[in-house]
Structure 1
């Protein structure tokens, strides 16, 4: 394998590579031409790199496809393999974040330094409307999506290696966990009792259920005899459409109900049946536990809007509806419930997720554990001394 460089104009070079044997009829050499901008030494280094790639079989034929064009192709490719919500998120990141930064760059010329520069720009001036930079967590998601997309480019032989894999990830600070204490939880339940949001709030703060799980819950999933709820599905909204899918962990889990939740659900079912019968509906086991007055299921976005509106009427700190799940978890662990039990109740795939998310509750538990061990040890020492 041979190659050489030719200067076309100051700082502009043509890299000429001889590939294969000369044509047996014409005697002309088969060549590949590459354009390069830089110094003569840099052009020579690039020529040597290309020769090495061709010799080792790692060479990828240059394409004029831009990063933006490739991302659109990739989005169409992954659509059947991901959930609609995930695809929507990918599309937002590719079109609104990555596209304006590197969409016009030729895919074959995309390098790690260009991607790092694009991420740095996003952190300082990435907001299109309000100005300022994007949150590090958003840039972190951009990086993950780009790594996934360019990994496919490598598989398709559009790139020899993934330039996004070597980029420097932004430092993402852990979001402070927000949760109500026991007194605030009691105040919350009393404030929401007269509203249609009472039962969703009760299921979130007393059972640790996710928003989508609450809205997918049907009466057939509530076992009054054994005092448990079977969490089988989750509601997911994309645009105005809602679909029901398997839970986040992919498994059905059983959540034990306290006496309070059990009695409130019985009261709620009776009130809901009376309300629907007045308009000619006959609820059955397939009916949704949380529903509109006409029996139709509530949409996730509608629940969030109603939560925000009603919470603003109270004097309680403003938190997300999802933070009610954190409230349940924190109160369980603070009360001494074993993390394994809490993990199963919350539907985490591993106990490590529970311990990582709620490590802020652990110091108090550790202090209690240390005190209990110390008390047991001191009692044993005292008993040993008395027996002598």
Structure 2
């Protein structure tokens, strides 16, 4: 009689059923963190053992193997906690969690991973577009596609059907950053505002809102006239927190003379506020703080920007549009594209060239003037 084969503890067991087939059961991790028993079958002992060993291998590698097909309402929270939170920036996690909570789970949560169809995805995109916008639907599409790609890598599904559905088309927003005269008008109107130095940095250096509010004095060298951008301030739910820059790289920017005096004024003003607050001062190294030393709410900086621009009678633009204006002014001054990319903190020069530069009517007329002179010269030569 053949000796009965035994498996190590925790590796499951195999036996022959009354119908002649072989059966194995192994406890495996689930997407929600629990462990459940999963059963596999084979026509021979060897076939069944091969399936059993695959379950054990996945268990030792920490790969979940659902005892039944997981629903999206189960998989998406697991994916956020195990894939996104440990490996991506906190801002990314917060944004993905919002899409999962507001759109993906309510609209697709009852669907199982392998039963999700292209029709389900299309209906979800249509509904999100109705509830919010095409831009939000496009972002939800990206979040779902990324989550399903992770399920493919963990071999929970054989294909990612979200890739078969095109994302909604979003019409590009028409941008018209302020002209040089409008920019100077804004700076003049903002001169008496407590956040004047912040607006000077936005206009002259093209800093992002979070980069301005996350700037620390240790990264400002007024003697050498350099500024290092390495942290950003963000609002995440009920918390304000500091994070690394968008591309995780610090960058050093030379400070133009027009920024030095406002920053010196900001340092003196903050010292007076610290003395007035006394023991109530919230100690930090941030350049821009409230009267008690706390970080400034990002929305409040934007509200101040809108209030000043409106009082000055300027066209309404976003605070972020000052980055576009900064890039356009730098290009108009003849600054090399690679240098502009480094100043703005882009990871790809294509972003600098395609998104953050704008040709004004004056530039177009000047270009056509050159063409007119060239063609006239040729005709006169004949």
Q: What TM-score comes out, normalization by structure 2 length?
A: 0.74
2:28 corresponds to which residue?
none
Pick the aligned partner of 1:274 from 257, 272, 275.
272
> Structure 1 unaligned runs (5+)?
1-22, 32-53, 128-133, 380-384
Say which SS state the counterpart of residue 352 (structure 1) adopts.
helix
Contact 1:334 1:364 in 2 (8 A): no
Q: Which residue of structure 1 lines up, in the alignment, with residue 162 of structure 2?
A: 164
Secondary structure of the residue that 1:81 maps to in structure 2?
Answer: coil
- Cα offset for 1:292? 1.4
* Pairing 1:287-366 to 2, within 5 Å after superposition: 287-361=285-359
Moved more, 195-204 or 113-122: 113-122
3-state SS, counterpart of residue 90 of structure 1: helix
What is the CA–CA distance in structure 1 between the aligned matches of 2:371 and 2:176, rounded to whole Å? 31
- From 62, 68, 71, the equivalent of 1:66 is 71
CA contact (8 A) 2:116 2:161 kept: yes
The change in CA–CA distance for 1:259 and 1:82 in structure 2 (over 3 A counts) is same
Give the match for residue 130 of structure 1: none
Contact conserved, 1:204 with 1:324, CA < 8 A, in 2? Answer: yes
The answer to whether the 8 Å contact 1:62/1:108 transfers is: no
CA distance in 2, matches of 1:345, 1:25: 70
Deviations, residues 222-279 of structure 1 (Å, cap 9, x unaligned): 2222222111211122023122222122222122222221122223323332343344
| Counterpart in the other structure of 1:51 | none
Superposition map of 1:33-182 within 5 A: 63-77=68-82, 78-123=84-129, 125=130, 127=131, 134-182=132-180
The Cα offsets for residues 28-69 of structure 1, whole Å up to 9 and x where unpaired, read as 4579xxxxxxxxxxxxxxxxxxxxxx9xx9xx9993432222
Q: What is the alpha-carbon distance in structure 2 between the residues aligned to residue 342 and residue 369 of structure 1?
A: 22
Moved over 6 A (4+): 362-376
- Residue 286 of structure 1: CA displacement? 6.4
Structure 2 gaps, min length 5: 1-14, 24-46, 52-64
What is the total number of aligned residue pairs between the two structures? 323
Residue 26 in structure 1 maps to residue 18 in structure 2: yes
- 1:165-203 C-alpha deviation (Å, 9 max, x unpaired): 111221122222241111211221122221112111111
Distance across 1 between alignment mates of 2:173 and 2:209: 20
RMSD across aligned positions (CA)? 3.4
